[in-house]
């Protein structure tokens, strides 16, 4: 594979993107800094296909990223491959208001062909290619210039290794027939709504102090105000105010600005400065939430009390069994919230009761809740068996799936890297 020198000019970038626009897929990674800013600062972009690779310096004077961004968000013929690409996609969205498409994430794909929940990049490389990556530059300050040769080599490795892994992973997905399982997951990753900063919705990520409409109204107003302040100043929202302080202000709002000096977590200067005045105005303008705006009540324990908790636990055990039997990450099959909802009697709007998840897990989960399935030990392994089969035979209860597993060894336990024929 040809490795280009660091790209710092628009003509060189345009030439590279023109060639890559004819590829079937490209692998993409970014290096960025966001410790001291609200918006992540893009410091380096790495990109490759199966023939060439390069690192691009977005901080180079005069460099126009337009050819790269057009390739990522306008070219529907080229598949964009990331690993754990959520933050990379967020950066591209911040620059363009759009997301890369079509898209493929190898971390998500690994969940469909192994029991790996969130495999890291280093483990991915070791599992598929059989060597360890150099982690020496992992915590580097990517905003500092000039970049060293070691830093650039480390960064480019992220996409060159991925360009070798992806075709093998794709063959594995085709062989197992699980590629279609991932379509919805990849579309979800590419959904622009996941990356849009909406100050009016930020309060939902903060632990609400109560369900009092007036308190929640203030929580929403103060959270939105803090988000706008952080955006305008380009600093982390926690630098404006921590979540704990925000929730406390929503529950116990000060009547006068000078009382802000007594609020734990705020500087005494807020008692008479401009930011303190803006905060007080946000509190004054806050309106109680309407009944329609109130969040749903969080269940205390299991939705059905102690019996419901037992049913949910049985469903979680079934999930572990099934994920082991078909060699898939439990997290991709079902979420704990969905299992608890099923145990509580909910039957609509649950992903496990739709599509491939229903075929692979949801049908048995539903039958377990309805008393049609039971646990049994077969050849030392915990399996599921139909009640009718158990009642009609004194022999070993039949399993719902073959004893032998068809998936390759999980990365953490692999003795050797998977091959195309794995």
The residues that bridge with 136 in the sheet, in sequence order, are: none
Q: Which residue has the tokens 């949910």?
A: 312
**pLDDT above 50: residue 416:** no
Buried/exposed code over 364-387 (b: 16+ C-beta within 10 A; e: otherwise): bbbbbbeeebbebeeeeeebbbbe
Q: What is the pLDDT of residue 100?
A: 97
Tell me what the mean pLDDT of segment 163-180 comes to: 93
Tell me which CATH code domain 306-392 carries.
Answer: 1.10.150
Q: What is the pLDDT of residue 390?
A: 56
Q: How far is CA 43 from CA 57, 59, 280, 385, in A?
A: 7, 6, 37, 55
Q: What is the pLDDT of residue 411?
A: 55
Question: Phi/psi zone of residue 209: left (φ > 0), alpha (ψ -120 to 50 degrees), beta?
Answer: alpha
Same CATH topology for 202-285 and 306-392?
yes
**Residue 372 confidence class, pLDDT cut points 50, 70, 90:** confident
Q: How far is CA 401 from CA 169, 202, 367, in A?
A: 25, 44, 15
Q: Tell me if the bond preceding 146 is cis, omega within 30° of 0.
A: yes
> pLDDT tens, 122-138?
999 999 999 988 776 66
Task: Mean pLDDT check: name the lowest of 13-17, 38-42, 174-178, 225-229.
Answer: 174-178
Give me the chain's average pLDDT, please: 88
Side-chain half-sphere of 417: how many Cα atoms within 13 Å?
17
Contact 267, 276 (CB under 8 A): no
Pick the CATH number of 2-194 from 3.40.50.10240, 3.30.420.10, 1.10.3720.10, 3.40.640.10: 3.30.420.10
* Residue 125 main-chain phi, psi, to 5 deg: -65, -45
Local structure of 25: helix, strand or coil: strand
Q: Among 278-282, 295-299, 344-348, 385-389, name the most confident range.
A: 278-282
pTM of this structure:
0.82
Residues present in the chain in total: 422
| Sequence spans of domains, the chain | 2-194, 202-285, 306-392
The string of DSSP letters for 257-290 reads: GGGGGGSTTS-GGGGTSHHHHHHHHHHHH--PPP
Pick the CATH number of 202-285 from 3.40.190.10, 3.30.930.10, 3.40.50.150, 1.10.150.80: 1.10.150.80
Q: What is the pLDDT of residue 379?
A: 77
> pLDDT tens, 96-119?
999 999 999 999 999 999 988 889
**Residue 140 confidence class, pLDDT cut points 50, 70, 90:** confident
């Amino acid at each position: 594979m040809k490795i280009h020198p660091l790209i710092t000019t628009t003509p060189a970038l345009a030439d590279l993107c023109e060639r890559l626009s004819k590829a079937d897929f490209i692998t993409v990674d970014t290096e960025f800094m966001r410790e001291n800013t609200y918006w992540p600062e893009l410091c380096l972009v790495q990109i490759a296909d199966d023939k060439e690779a390069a690192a691009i310096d977005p901080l180079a004077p005069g460099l126009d990223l337009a050819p790269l961004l057009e390739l990522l968000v306008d070219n529907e013929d080229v598949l964009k491959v990331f690993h754990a690409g959520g933050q990379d996609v967020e950066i591209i969205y911040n620059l363009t208001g759009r997301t890369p498409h079509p898209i493929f994430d190898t971390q998500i794909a690994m969940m469909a062909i192994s029991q790996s929940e969130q495999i890291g990049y280093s483990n991915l490389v070791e599992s598929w290619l059989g060597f360890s990556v150099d982690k020496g530059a992992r915590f580097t300050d990517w905003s500092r210039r000039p970049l060293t040769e070691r830093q650039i080599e480390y960064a480019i490795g992220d996409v060159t290794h991925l360009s070798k892994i992806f075709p093998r992973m794709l063959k594995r997905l085709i062989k197992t027939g699980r590629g279609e399982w991932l379509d919805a997951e990849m579309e979800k990753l590419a959904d622009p709504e996941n990356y849009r900063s909406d100050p009016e919705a930020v309060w939902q990520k903060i632990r609400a102090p109560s369900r009092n409409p007036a308190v929640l109204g203030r929580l929403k107003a103060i959270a939105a105000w803090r988000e706008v302040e952080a955006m305008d100043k380009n600093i982390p929202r926690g630098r404006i105010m921590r979540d704990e302080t925000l929730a406390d202000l929503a529950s116990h709002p000060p009547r006068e600005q000078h009382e802000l000096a007594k609020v734990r977590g705020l500087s005494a200067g807020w008692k008479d400065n401009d930011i303190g005045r803006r905060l007080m105005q946000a509190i004054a303008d806050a309106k109680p939430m309407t009944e329609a705006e109130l969040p749903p009540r969080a269940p205390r324990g299991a939705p059905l009390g102690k019996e419901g908790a037992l049913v949910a636990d049985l469903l979680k055990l079934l999930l572990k069994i099934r994920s082991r039997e078909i060699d898939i990450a439990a997290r991709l099959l079902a979420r704990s919230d969905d299992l608890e909802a099923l145990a509580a009697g909910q039957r609509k709007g649950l992903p496990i009761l739709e599509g491939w998840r229903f075929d692979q897990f949801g049908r048995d989960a539903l039958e377990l809740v309805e008393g049609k399935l039971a646990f049994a030990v077969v050849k030392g392994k915990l399996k599921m068996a139909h009640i009718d089969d158990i009642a009609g035979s004194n022999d070993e209860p039949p399993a719902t799936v073959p004893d032998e597993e068809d998936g390759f060894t999980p990365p953490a336990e692999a003795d050797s890297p998977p091959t195309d024929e794995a």
